[in-house]
Copies of this chain bind each other. A is one copy, B any other.
Amino acid sequence: MTWSDITTSPIDPSAVLARVGTPGDGAVALFLGTVRNANHGRPVGGMEYEGYRRMARDELAAIVSEAAARAGSDRVAAVHRLGELAVGETSVAVAVSTPHRAEAFEAARHVIEEIKKRLPVWKREHYLDGEAEWLEGRVPVGAGGCDAAGHGGVNRR
């Protein structure tokens, strides 16, 4: 079964790995996103993740389901953490197991790319100089964008 979660607790990679893998699978791919100590050369002390939690749960579940369908495997797991993270802590983990390796790599990559395109999560970098900034994000895929001036948005996909 696929599994996904949005959590404020620390992510344990072993627990995510344990969500995938069956006797018929020969390949497991795991991806971890971690908080870096610098961005564009500026020293970073930590990262604050904010999310639209209920929607993020739904969206992450949808991403995982899509990846599972593409990979032909229901052994796809993903979790995203919210809250204050220190440098080195894991913000996101994705695990996939499949009979053969190409599908595991492809599906894990797909999940993290879709997370970055669609998951309603934002992050504020806290710099060692005491400042903090919301990181520039991406207009979410799946969102048409709305124009109050009436130029119209595209339909939801």
- Flag the segment in A16-24, A53-61, A63-71, A145-153 that touches B: A16-24
A101:B112 contact, CB within 8 angstroms = yes
- Asked if A82 lies at the interface with its beta carbon under 8 angstroms from chain B, I say no
Given contacts A13-B14, A14-B14, A105-B105, contact A27 B32 (CB under 8 A): yes
A104 nearest in chain B by CB position: B31
Size category of the A interface is 20 to 34
- Residues of B with C-beta under 8 A to A104: 31
Q: Cα distance A24–B88 when bound, in Å?
A: 8
- In this complex, the member of A28, A32, A34, A88 whose beta carbon has the largest number of chain B beta carbons within 10 angstroms is A32
Q: How many copies does the complex hold?
A: 2
Tell me how far the C-beta of A20 lies from the nearest C-beta in chain B, rounded to whole angstroms: 10
Whether A37 lies near B23 (C-beta < 8 A) is yes
Interfacial chain B residues near A105, Cβ < 8 Å = 31, 105, 108-109
Q: How far is the CA of A92 from the CA of B97 in the complex (A)?
A: 14
Contact B27 A30 (CB under 8 A): no
Q: Which residues of A contact B (CB under 8 A)?
A: 13-14, 17, 21, 23-38, 87-88, 97, 99, 101, 104-105, 108-109, 112
